[in-house]
Amino acid sequence: MADYIPPALDWVREQVELYESSGGTEGTTLLETGMPCILVTHMGNKSGAIRKIPLMRVKVDNSYVLVGSMGGQPKNPVWVYNLRANPDVEIRDATEVFKMRVREVSDDEERASLWAASAAAFPPYNDYEAKTDRKIPVFVAEPV
């Protein structure tokens, strides 16, 4: 089995640890915002190691939308490249865990619809989009 490499940022690592160690009963919201998060377990594209990242919970039907916003920074978060290389993921939504496969959304109409759902769930996404020149990657994770 591949090694697990924890997130580099302290607060992210602590949230992942709390989310996992509680079985999904704690650590399920973004810091003090009270807004729900999911935990995405994926494989590193260079290391081949297991990686885990909390992302905002944007659920559309039986799928989850994963937004590579990185707070509107000029670069994509590393997990974007991991998902592009290794689309099979596990998503923990509170106490439930699902095996899923992600695909990057390239169709403009589908992306616009999923972006609207994402911004409704987490309004800062619109601010992040406004402050970066890059097109923020949007993925949809679907049941396998």
Domain region containing 32:
10-143
Whole-number pLDDT of residue 20: 95
Between 76 and 33, residue with greater pLDDT? 76
Q: Tell me how many domains the chain contains.
A: 1
Residue 3 lies in a domain: no
What was the pLDDT predicted at 31? 83
Share of the chain above pLDDT 90, in %: 95
pLDDT > 80? residue 1: no
pTM, rounded to two decimals: 0.96
Residue 5 lies in a domain: no
Let me know how many helices (H) and strands (E) the chain has, helices first.
4, 7
pLDDT of residue 32: 80
Strands 96-104 and 50-56: unpaired
For the stretch 43-77, pLDDT in tens is: 999 999 999 999 999 999 999 999 999 999 999 99
Tokens 């592009």 correspond to what residue?
84
Q: What is the mean pLDDT of the chain?
A: 96
CATH number at 93 reads 2.30.110.10
Instruction: Give the pLDDT mean for 81-99.
Output: 98
Mean pLDDT across the stretch 14-42?
Answer: 94
